[in-house]
Amino acid sequence: MTLHLSDLRPGDAATIVAIDHAGVDPANARQLHEMGFDEGVDVALLHRAPFGGDPVMLRVGNMGVALRKSLAAMVVVERAA
Amino acid sequence: MTVAVLDAPRVVDAAAMAVVALVGNPNAGKTSLFNALTGSRQKVGNYPGVTVERKMGRLALPDGRSVRLIDLPGTYSLTPRSPDEAVTRDVVLGAQAGEARPDAIVAVIDATNLRNHLRFVLELRRLGLPMVVALNMVDLAERDCTTIDVARLSSILGLPVVPTVAVRRRGLGEIGAALAPLLTGAVPPPADTAADLVLLQREARVIAATVTTQVGVARAWSARLDAIALHPVAGPVLLGCLLFLMFQAVFAWAQVPMDLLSAGVDHLQKLVTAALPAGDLRSLLVDGILHGVGSVVVFLPQILILFFFILCLEQSGYMTRAAFMMDRLMARVGLNGRAFIPLISSFACAIPGIMAARTIAEPRDRLTTILIAPLMTCSARLPVYAVIIAAFIPNRPVAGVLGLQGLVMFGLYVAGVGGALVAAWVLRRTVTRGPTPTFLMEMPKYQWPAPRDIGIGLYQKAWAFLARAGGIILVSTVALWALATWPKPPAPGSSGATLPAIDYSVAGHIGATLEPLFRPIGFNKEIALALVPGMAAREVAISALGTVYSLDADAEHPEGLVQRLHAAWTLPTALAFLAWYVFAPQCLSTLAVTRRETGGWKWPGFMFAYLFAMAYVGAGATYWAARALT
């Protein structure tokens, strides 16, 4: 079963399996990589914003990153064992 | 051959004073390092054609030479997404007008986030410029139980690596020592920089993993703070409290220094009055320059307190959390959480706010943010609000702890923000219609703001404000004084000198001409008159009112401006004036910077028209509502 970054709950850790490049515009895809997103990188969902739980704050590798759920849905992850 | 001849003088010049550029990701501590290396001997200017701030300082090398150090805007890569980042790329490539290609680079990287920052170092290394890596914030890495093998990192990169803690001034001398042997005067030609981002990213991860030993959990402290700051309930409450504290502090803390400054200006006026005979020169000095400039300079403490809060929020890392929490709300009006930062800066001044909008990549999103930035109540409105509130709003306590004056002030700020949200909503559905861009930004770890960085930031803001007071405000005050002084009224005793002196002057005629336009919204002739020089800068309106009413004063009315206004205006007029200032497009500098940022007169023209309409309607509605109620 494929799991997306947007499906994680606060406190969940996972590993990035793939970035759905077809669903992301190239500038956003580039920015995701600049923020450290890549296959094999460990991520964790830390916080959801007040007022509706969107955007979300993640730890990507060693870095805090915030993004909207619609973009997080383009990142396929595998839950950490 | 020609090229060599043309190049020769530059090489000599470069040998005398080489240029070194500081480059790094945002949040690497680059500006702290720049401040630590150069102290307060900095020159702040602009790159020609763009409003990107150009900061330059001098760094002494251990061998006695000096280099010019430039602080380039932070960026994640050499593929720019915004005008700021484009300057960084153009400078390191030698393509920036007005800037020689640097002789060397100091790449600043965050020791606690090696894998991301190393990716940028690998990209920079391809430029072929001599380079030193400043491994900054090594103390935080140690606190996170991370050990970095610096020698190994240096040998893998093939570059000197210097561990630094910019905020504690550690490693500064070593940077100079590492730079000295690299500055030979010969700069290699630009090398091929195209690189595959993902490949560099992976290479950086491998290097980071090789040189770091991690024992224990990283950044527990930052995570614990986020548990409060980003809590669904506590987070927004904390943000609201911080903003409210900021605005209350601007009033409470500033009172004593403002009274002192005001007393100082009074004293100077008395000295000049005593020293000079009555006449035009004394009138120019006392009623024109001292009164006009003095009534603006007294607001320096409030402006510094406001900037102090904004600098602290930015440097601590909290500002990005605020952007994160506000994204949802901003998305409702078609904006992005990122726009929250320029908008908060606009509370200090719309100009840095409009310039900060450069970090927004999507052009229409950026344009909308620029257009609504002047609706954030900037510090130049503070003098206006403060005088009118002092004259018309009683200072009585509300609910025990809050002052009514503070509450009214807070209400004016809220009105500005509300107006901005409505304007953004309308703009995004009409003139700046387009897809809503996404929100994606780094949430840096929390840091104590370094007193030196705050101090240098405040010094630069204070200097900019005083330069304005000494420049545009002084000139417009003197011009207004002249307009309000000549022609003189007929000599006493002759027929017709029954009106106040100002009614005979050029300014009186301008005011009288404009008055019919403003009469429906409750403004009198003096206000119409003050709005004219108020176009130069908002706070000039107060010095203009000061000049007008002070020239108008006679022996029986020697009171200050607050008392004069209290006697001269009705409450509905005062409230309408406040409402006007919430929206009014009264700042030439803002329009000028908008022109520069949007590349033409179209958008500043639009900005002026729509803000004028909002101000007119807002002031009119306030006037008639207040008349109906009082």
Span B208-223, average pLDDT: 78
Q: How far is CA B491 from CA B488, B497, B552, B553, B556, in A?
A: 8, 7, 16, 17, 20
Q: Is the ipTM of this complex over 0.90?
A: yes
The answer to whether A34 contacts B77, with C-beta atoms less than 8 Å apart, is yes
pTM above 0.95, yes or no: no
Span B361-367, average pLDDT: 84
Radius of gyration of chain B (CA): 28
The answer to whether B328 contacts A32, with C-beta atoms less than 8 Å apart, is no
Span B493-501, average pLDDT: 57
Q: Can you give the residue range of the structural domain that contains A71? A: 2-79
Give the tens place of pLDDT for each residue, B385-438: 888 888 888 877 777 677 788 888 888 988 998 999 999 999 999 988 887 778
Q: Is the Cβ of A64 closer than 8 Å to some Cβ of chain B?
A: yes
pLDDT of the residue at A1: 61
Percent of chain B clearing pLDDT 90 (strictly above) = 30
The answer to whether A46 contacts B329, with C-beta atoms less than 8 Å apart, is no
Contacts of B16 (CB under 8 A, 6+ apart): none
Span B324-341, average pLDDT: 87
Length of chain B: 630
- In chain A, which residues have pLDDT < 50? none
The answer on pLDDT for B218 being more than 70 is no
Give the tens place of pLDDT for each residue, B271-307: 988 888 888 888 888 877 887 777 667 778 877 888 8
Of residues B53 and B163, the one with the higher pLDDT is: B163
The answer on pLDDT for B481 being more than 80 is no
Q: From CA B54, how far away is CA B38, in angstroms rounded?
A: 14
pLDDT of the residue at B468: 66
Q: Where are the beta strands (DSSP E) in A5-79?
A: 13-19, 42-48, 56-60, 63-67, 75-79
Q: Do strands B104-110 and B131-136 pair parallel, antiparallel, or not at all (unpaired)?
A: parallel
Percent helix, percent strand, percent coil in chain B, to nearest 5? 65, 10, 25
Q: Which of B219, B442, B445 is the closest to A35 by Cβ? A: B442
Long-range contacts of B168-173 (CB under 8 A, 24+ apart): B168/B139, B169/B36, B170/B138, B170/B139, B171/B134, B171/B138, B172/B36, B172/B37, B173/B62
pLDDT of the residue at B51: 56
**pLDDT band at residue B193 using 50, 70 and 90 as cut-offs:** low
Lowest mean pLDDT among B107-116, B414-423, B540-549: B540-549
**pLDDT band at residue B14 using 50, 70 and 90 as cut-offs:** very low
A 24-53 → B contacts, CB under 8 A: 27-28, 30-36, 38, 41, 46-52
| Token representation of residue B341 | 């930062």
Q: What is the mean pLDDT of chain A?
A: 90
Q: What is the mean pLDDT of chain B?
A: 83
A46: domain CATH number is: 2.30.30.90
Give the tens place of pLDDT for each residue, B62-99: 988 899 999 998 999 998 887 788 889 999 988 888 78
The answer to whether B112 contacts A49, with C-beta atoms less than 8 Å apart, is no
**pLDDT band at residue B8 using 50, 70 and 90 as cut-offs:** very low
The answer on pLDDT for B558 being more than 50 is no
- The number of domains in chain A is 1
Query: Cα angle at A10 between A7 and A14, to 5 degrees?
Result: 60
The answer to whether B76 contacts A64, with C-beta atoms less than 8 Å apart, is no
Q: Which of A53, A58, A44, A41 is nearest to A13 (CA)?
A: A44
pLDDT of the residue at B613: 94
Span B570-595, average pLDDT: 86
Q: Is the Cβ of B445 closer than 8 Å to some Cβ of chain A?
A: yes
Q: Which of B235, B324, B442 is the closest to A55 by Cβ? A: B324
Q: From CA B222, how far away is CA B167, in angstroms rounded?
A: 18
pLDDT of the residue at B10: 41
